[in-house]
Structure 1
Amino acid sequence: MFDRVLGIPAHPLYIHAAVVLVPLLVLTAVLYAVWPASRRHTRWPLVVFALAAPGATFFAKESGETFSANRAFQAPQMKALIAQHEVYADRLFLFVFLLTLVALVMAFMIPATAGGRVWIKAPSAAHWAAAVLAVVLSGASMYYCYRTGDSGAHMAWSGF
């Protein structure tokens, strides 16, 4: 499952889902956190992206580990570059997972409309804490999404 898809290496295919879904999760989480008027429209996309982005990131990370075992990537210089790329990917997965948890809590704790129903009852301070945490985790997720993608692209396109 993590090695090949229809005979093609899976990693280059799976990373495209993560590259699209992580920024969409970040965008909707930040919008939901800081712009109350957007909540009515972004609650369910936030939930969908919060469920899809960590899955895409996990598939990209696991397929990358399988891909790096290819004997074409066993040179010491390449192994060092792959090790750094894996560090970025591990951190990306951690931050996306944490953002997912905060986004789901936020989606069900902060009402989408002024008189809206919430599933998680919490004081106003918890709403602010979740919103601030969502923005901070969004920034970290985007940073590691960029660093992971940039390091992988340099390996693929710059002659290692």
Structure 2
Amino acid sequence: MTTIFGLPAHVLLVHGLVVLVPLTAALQVLCALWPAARRRFVWLVLALAVGILALTPLTVSAGEWLYGRESEHRPILQLHAARGEWMIYFAVGLLLVSVALAVQHWLETRKPAKRTALNVAVAILAVLVGVSAVVGVALIGHTGAEAKWGIIAAG
């Protein structure tokens, strides 16, 4: 996929990740810490994580196509491309946490759960993966904006 309605596909697809990754991460943390939220949103969180995993290679592929069309590969553009490769790891991490939440939910429906080691482990994992995914998307996006628009990092 290279263009959508005449626009570079990467430009449009990346906005999906910019919205879905923080949303999914926040919902995962909420579900991990609050059983009532887990009962309501666990399947939505799993569907969002699957969507992110599907959207990531499409976005990276469209970015590689766009990168190939650039005549000059400035260092900031190279950094953005390198950071863009990180996204698959964040997508897999979000999916694994979502699966863990679904398993946790399934176990709770079989036997009312107390605060178990699984609950604590999933909560810690959700926070760590969620924060790292959001920070990662911000870093990737910042270098992309800097490469395209010449935004200078403050400091």
TM-score range, shorter chain: 0.7 to 0.9
Contact 1:43 1:107 (8 Å CA) reproduced: yes
What whole-Å deviation, never above 9, does each CA across 1:33-68 have from its counterpart, x for those lacking one? Answer: 112231122112111111111222222111101110
Query: Does 1:116 pair with 2:115?
Result: no
SS of residue in 2 equivalent to 1:13: helix
* Bigger shift: residues 36-45 or 12-21: 36-45
Structure 2 spans left out of the alignment, 5+ residues: none
**Equivalences for residues 86-97 of structure 1 within 5 A:** 86-97=81-92
**Runs of 4 or more consecutive aligned structure 1 residues displaced over 3 Å after TM superposition:** none
Q: Aligned residue for 2:98?
A: 103
Residues 146 and 159 of structure 1: CA distance in aligned 2, closer, same or farther (over 3 Å): closer
Looking at structure 2, the residues matched to 35 and 58 of structure 1 have their Cα atoms a distance apart, in angstroms, of 32
Separation of aligned partners in 1, 2:68 and 2:120: 44
Letter of the structure 1 residue corresponding to residue 85 of structure 2: D
Equivalent position of 2:19 in the other structure: 20
Distance in 1, Cα, partners of 2:110 & 2:46 = 16
Whether contact under 8 Å (2:38, 2:101) holds in the other structure is no
Contact 1:111 1:117 in 2 (8 A): yes
Counterpart-to-counterpart distance in 1, 2:57 and 2:22: 15
3-state SS in 1 of match to 2:85: helix
8 A contact 2:90–2:133 mirrored in 1: yes
TM-score (norm 2): 0.84
- Other-structure match for 2:37: 38
For residues 123-147 of structure 1, the C-alpha deviation after alignment (integer angstroms, 9 at most, x for no partner) is 9323321221121011110001101
Taking only the aligned residue pairs, the percentage that are identical comes to 29
Q: Which residue of 2 aligns with 1:84?
A: 79
* Structure 1: runs of 5 or more not aligned: none
Task: Name the SS of the counterpart of 1:37 in structure 2.
Answer: helix
Q: Using a 3 Å threshold, how does the CA distance of structure 1 residues 104 and 16 change in structure 2: closer, same or farther?
A: same
Contact 2:27 2:41 in 1 (8 A): yes
> Take 1:159 and 1:30, find their aligned partners in 2: how far apart are those partners?
32
> TM-score scaled by structure 1?
0.82
Aligned 8 A contact 1:25 1:50 in 2: yes
Task: Please say if residues 145 and 151 of structure 2, whose CA atoms lie closer than 8 Å, have aligned partners that are also in contact.
Answer: no
Aligned to 2:145: 153
Residue 133 of structure 2: aligned partner: 141
Determine the C-alpha separation between the residues in 1 that align with 2:25 and 2:140: 16
User: What CA distance in whole angstroms lies between the structure 1 residues aligned with 2:42 and 2:21?
Assistant: 16
Equivalent AA in structure 2 for residue 103 of structure 1 = S
